[in-house]
Structure 1
């Protein structure tokens, strides 16, 4: 009985070129990410370093990129709150921004849900008007708002900023929230109606918790606008204790 010789195939070497290619791609990717992060954060880092330098280090002939221990000071921050009452300006900006943001979400969410789910006569016309108001430059409302503030005596009043900020951010809130409401499945709402929920209960207990990312996103956009707005705050708030952060920051250059 003869034995059949077994043939074995020669071992194949693992592909090295593909592994090297993948590793180089990863290295290039991380280098690109690191460059982007450094390039984006460099101005912020420079501002932070400048804020803790002494005046001699700031005005030195040779640029001091990284100050030593003898060139560091926190006197600028102490003077910011001690001489300029910056905490009052921060409170004013936070109060106006938070209240206007909450009003935008409280008024815009039900309106967006009604436009997304309910059959309203002239819905397309309403959406077109909301879109037009969103694209309308708010700076053109300045003269009209100035007359309204003068007639109703709202100068140096928080309402002079809260009401315009809410009105300006409300159309954007409606559009963003409506798009999120349209993506929700209607089966949940139908089940809630079978269980006895009315529209307000369903909106507060089921729909809004499911659209929490949209609420946070819209709230952040409204808050940033209200926090950074300058022209209305400069014109409607003339008393020192009523100024907001952008106005106070613009006036810091003239203080000593």
Structure 2
């Protein structure tokens, strides 16, 4: 026959060691969440760290076996070559030209996207439009089209307009492709702003357009910043359209220009890694500067819709 005193002591010891009966539900769930979070972070961070370490290695060290994870001799020669500061480079690439092209195209397309999507979102959120749910569904469906299906019609359109090998050949499609996501995001924000604020502004003499830009737009700053950053990042990182619609080397964007470092018989991993690290700097700076607004935008924008 079991000793009740001994059994109770054992139960108390078990609860003290394993957190009691709640371990199997709450603690196990927390442990799984932590494991999943660490796996996601490692999956995203490890390639970036590996790329950074590769960019600091001499070219000969990359072919050494066994593989070394950290550079034996840190060198900045790869960055000097990418930036055009290496006098021994026989064929320097116009990195800064590509960088400027990407910056111009990304900034202009992001600005146009925010300007257009804000007005479309305001009409959808504020006006009594019949079939608004259908319109939102169509906008969401358009955003799901794979880009590869649009390559041929976009190429033919730009060729007919005489825009191939120009910045407009990328600014126009980048703006249009980012419009659905930005519009849906801003609709959620505009719906959270009380109509009384706009009515009060219009009573004071503002038109509806002035109420949008002077009242609704500033109050939706987190959503506006989030939409602008998403449009900027999408344009900065896009590769397929930039490769297809622009063939002149001096007009290429940075995403395509980096691929030109590859030779016919060589693949300079260290050089390409250095160029990729430099290409990530603008995106990282933008995200760090506006991370608070981006986080609040992504969370608050999904409350209504």
| Aligned equivalents of 1:38, 1:232: Cα separation in 2 | 30
> Residue 190 and residue 149 in structure 1: after superposition, are their counterparts in 2 closer, same or farther (change >3 A)?
same
2:79 alignment partner in structure 1: 77
1:194 alignment partner in structure 2: 203
Identify the match of residue 254 of structure 2 among 245, 248, 255.
Answer: 245
1:99 alignment partner in structure 2: 108
> Residue 89 and residue 207 in structure 1: after superposition, are their counterparts in 2 closer, same or farther (change >3 A)?
same
Q: Secondary structure at the match of 2:83?
A: helix
| Aligned equivalents of 2:40, 2:178: Cα separation in 1 | 32
Identify the match of residue 54 of structure 1 among 48, 51, 58.
Answer: 58
RMSD between aligned residues:
2.8
Aligned pairs, number: 238
Unaligned runs of 5+ in 1: 1-16
Q: How does 1:12-51 map to 2 (within 5 A)?
A: 37=41, 40-51=44-55
Structure with greater Cα Rg = 1
| Aligned equivalents of 2:131, 2:210: Cα separation in 1 | 26
Corresponding position: 1:204 with 2:228: no
Q: Greater CA deviation, 51-60 or 105-114? A: 51-60
| Aligned equivalents of 2:59, 2:95: Cα separation in 1 | 21
Q: Greater CA deviation, 122-131 or 96-105? A: 122-131
TM-score by length of 1: 0.82
TM-score by length of 2: 0.69
Corresponding position: 1:165 with 2:174: yes
- Displaced runs of 4+ in structure 1, greater than 4 A? 31-39
| Aligned equivalents of 1:212, 1:56: Cα separation in 2 | 50
Unaligned runs of 5+ in 2: 1-14, 20-26, 85-91, 269-305
Q: How does 1:80-229 map to 2 (within 5 A)?
A: 80-82=82-84, 83-229=92-238
| Aligned equivalents of 2:54, 2:181: Cα separation in 1 | 37
1:64 alignment partner in structure 2: 68
| Aligned equivalents of 1:152, 1:99: Cα separation in 2 | 20
| Aligned equivalents of 1:64, 1:127: Cα separation in 2 | 52
| Aligned equivalents of 2:145, 2:53: Cα separation in 1 | 40
1:131 deviation in Å?
A: 2.5
Q: Greater CA deviation, 114-123 or 163-172? A: 114-123
| Aligned equivalents of 2:130, 2:46: Cα separation in 1 | 53
Q: Secondary structure at the match of 1:67?
A: coil
| Aligned equivalents of 2:240, 2:261: Cα separation in 1 | 17
1:39 deviation in Å?
A: 5.6
| Aligned equivalents of 2:54, 2:156: Cα separation in 1 | 42
1:10 alignment partner in structure 2: none
1:136 deviation in Å?
A: 2.2
1:128 deviation in Å?
A: 3.5
| Aligned equivalents of 1:174, 1:166: Cα separation in 2 | 12
